[in-house]
Amino acid sequence: MLRFQVLGRLTVTNDLGDCTPTAPMARRVLAQLLLRANNIVMLDAIIDELWGDKPPKSAVPTAQTYIYQLRRQFEPWVPDHTVEQVLATCGTGYMLRVEPDQLDLGAFLRLAEQGRTALATGDPVAAGRLLRQALGLWSGPALADVTAGPSIQAHAVHLTEQRAHTVELRIQADAMLGRHRELVGELKAMLLADPLNEWCHAQLIKALASSGRRNEALIAYQHLRRTLSSELGLEPSEALRELHREVLAGRGSWSDWREPQQSFAEQGTW
């Protein structure tokens, strides 16, 4: 059976090992088909991905050659005489058919959605387990070793946002389980990469306060306030100001700071 990975390097494996295409353009076509697995990708979209608004006169036969090359590479690893069903011609487009356990992207989306549902129904233990499994499928930026045209780049940005949302849900699950001390270091590292992320700042303030480090929580709030003022000319949101007042008052239960738990279907998948 062929297995495909896009959450990191583009990888294709079979029962004997790696069989990833090496030709750069064929890899781009495969990446585009995998990102739209079980959906038709029109030939015009493939040409636009490969050459943009300056396609060569030979664009159509050249793109068809890449499809032929992929079929030849897959043929030994699919049931006899089915390669043109696995990588099917559909009118003036192509569809790569994959089963649920063949593509890491499909597994990530399923696990992330199941984790979100578990969190929304009040089961942080199951949510944390499912969300960790989803995040464990990532080995780096999506399609990190594929040259991206407009379509692949758009998909990669979307997947990066979905991964970030999954990390936030996992942090919420850990916070609900009282793992505040464990979260402090992770949240500080996240803020080094994204210093204007108010959600992360709020989670850090809560984690510090819940760990008995109220002075550090107050310092974290003042740091955020200075950063927002100097960088954007803004004050913290009302929700963050309320959190600050609660920490100052020494209350034992901090306001629940959560983004709406939008489903992955509602976010839109590719």
User: Roughly how many angstroms between the first and final C-alpha of the chain, as a whole number?
Assistant: 24
Given a cut of 80, whether residue 79 has pLDDT beyond it is yes
User: Considering only CA atoms, which of 112, 78, 80 is closest in space to residue 98?
Assistant: 78
pLDDT of residue 100: 87
AA letter at 124: P
Among 111, 23, 114, which residue's Cα sits nearest to residue 73?
A: 23
Domain annotation for the chain: domains and CATH numbers? 3-96 (1.10.10.10), 180-258 (1.25.40.10)
- For residue 153, the tally of other CB atoms under 10 A from its CB is 13
Q: Are residues 199 and 257 in contact, defined by beta-carbon separation less than 8 angstroms? A: yes
Question: Tokens representing 251?
Answer: 């209350």
Q: If you ran DSSP here, which 8-state letter would residue 75 be given?
A: G
Q: Is 154 helix (H, G, I), strand (E, B) or coil?
A: helix
Note the pLDDT tens digit of each residue in 156-173.
999 999 999 999 999 999
Please tell me the distance from the alpha carbon of residue 33 to that of residue 108, in angstroms, as a whole number.
17
E strand or H helix that includes residue 199 = helix 198-210
Q: H helices of 177-260, where?
A: 180-193, 198-210, 214-232, 238-249
Burial per residue of 111-134, b for 16 or more beta-carbon CB atoms within 10 angstroms, e otherwise: bbbbbbebbeeebbebbbbbbebb
Three-state DSSP class for residue 88: strand
Task: Output the average pLDDT for the chain.
Answer: 92
Q: Both tokens of residue 157?
A: 């940005």
Q: What is the distance between the alpha carbons of residues 230 and 207, in angstroms, rounded to a whole number? A: 25
Radius of gyration of the chain, Cα coordinates, nearest whole angstrom: 23
User: What's the token pair of residue 233?
Assistant: 């000319």
What's the predicted TM-score (pTM) here?
Answer: 0.88
At 270, the pLDDT band (50, 70, 90 cuts) reads very low
Q: Which pLDDT score, from 0 to 100, does residue 252 have? A: 56
Asked if pLDDT for residue 80 goes beyond 90, the answer is no
Q: What pLDDT digit, counting tens, does each position of 178-230 carry?
A: 999 999 999 999 999 999 999 999 999 999 999 999 999 999 999 999 999 99
Q: Is the pLDDT of residue 21 over 90?
A: yes
Token pair 């890449």 is at which residue?
A: 66
Residues 99-145 have pLDDT tens digits of 989 999 999 999 999 999 999 999 999 999 999 999 999 999 999 99
